[in-house]
């Protein structure tokens, strides 16, 4: 399972990269805005800065909602760096744009996916990755992890090459459940990744080992 970090914060990306377990980065317009990144050139510079920090896929999301606009933006993003993945929303124009990018060899991440039907459309259009938002599904009292299981089952049945990228992760448990469900990738806040390290028995065990060492070694 690959780990992506879901942030546009350069310090968090550096911290996750330093852990040695990071495979890529996803961003979205809300995460960019949270970092105060605005204006076309600043946005572009920020994507390049992220690509220079991590040797793996970096999702850059289009803000256009029409096919022509998405193509223009996506081609510009893709030309920035070999690791850019163009993030495209699950809409009619978005699916057409994914098909276009796929025919040009440009990688895509189909975002805002909330159903298996949407995931099938994205795969048929040739999306490189599909992003079901599991946390937001849980928030609406449905089961986000169950959607991951369903999509993984369908993709394996039909041998779709699209990778299942579990997004909107809220906890370490979400990551583990998505791994069990067969997600290819989880994109997570840094806090959820760090949460995986924690176990009280690890802390107790380490304290005991150090205390025993001290007893005989001073």
Q: Which residues bind ligand G3P (CB under 6 A)?
A: 6, 26, 28, 131, 133, 135-136, 167-168, 187
Pairing label, strands 84-89, 58-61:
parallel
6 — alpha (psi -120 to 50), left (phi > 0) or beta? Answer: beta
- Closer CB to ligand G3P, 141 or 217, in the complex: 141
Q: Which residue is nearest to ligand G3P (CB)?
A: 168
User: Smallest distance, Å, CB 205 to ligand G3P?
Assistant: 33
Contact yes or no for 136/167 (Cβ under 8 A):
no
Residue 87 is a catalytic residue: yes
- Closer CB to ligand G3P, 73 or 111, in the complex: 111
Q: Tell me which of 14, 76, 87, 215 is the catalytic residue.
A: 87
Give the CA distances from residue 119 to residues 1, 125, 129, 148, 172, in Å, rounded to whole numbers and listed in that order. 19, 10, 10, 10, 24
C-alpha atoms less than 13 angstroms from C-alpha of 43 in its C-beta half-sphere: 19
Cα separation, 74 vs 193, in Å, equals: 29
- Closer CB to ligand G3P, 4 or 205, in the complex: 4
- Closer CB to ligand G3P, 142 or 158, in the complex: 142
- The kind and range of the H/E element at 167 are none
Which residue has 């991951």 as its token pair? Answer: 148
User: Smallest distance, Å, CB 61 to ligand G3P?
Assistant: 9
Contact yes or no for 4/25 (Cβ under 8 A):
yes
Catalytic residue numbers read 87
């Amino acid at each position: 399972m690959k780990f992506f970090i879901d942030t546009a914060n350069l310090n968090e990306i550096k911290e996750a990269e330093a852990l040695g377990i990071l495979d890529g980065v996803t961003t979205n317009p809300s995460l960019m805005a949270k970092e105060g990144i605005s204006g076309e050139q600043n946005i572009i510079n920020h994507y390049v800065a992220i690509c220079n920090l991590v040797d793996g896929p970096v999702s850059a999301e289009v803000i256009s909602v029409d096919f022509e606009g998405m193509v223009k933006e996506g081609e510009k993003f893709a030309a920035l760096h070999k690791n850019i993945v163009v993030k495209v929303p699950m809409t009619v124009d978005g699916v057409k744009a994914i098909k276009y990018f796929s025919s040009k060899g440009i990688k895509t991440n189909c975002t805002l996916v909330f159903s298996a039907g949407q995931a099938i459309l994205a795969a048929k259009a040739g999306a490189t990755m599909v992003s079901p938002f599991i946390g937001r599904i849980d928030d609406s009292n449905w089961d986000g992890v169950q959607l991951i299981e369903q999509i993984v089952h369908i993709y394996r049945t039909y041998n779709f090459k699209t990778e299942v990228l579990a997004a909107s992760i809220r906890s370490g448990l979400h990551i583990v459940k998505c791994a069990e469900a067969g997600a290819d990738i989880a994109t997570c806040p840094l806090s959820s990744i760090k949460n995986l390290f924690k176990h009280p028995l690890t802390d107790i065990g380490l304290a005991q080992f150090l205390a025993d060492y001290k007893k005989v070694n001073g």
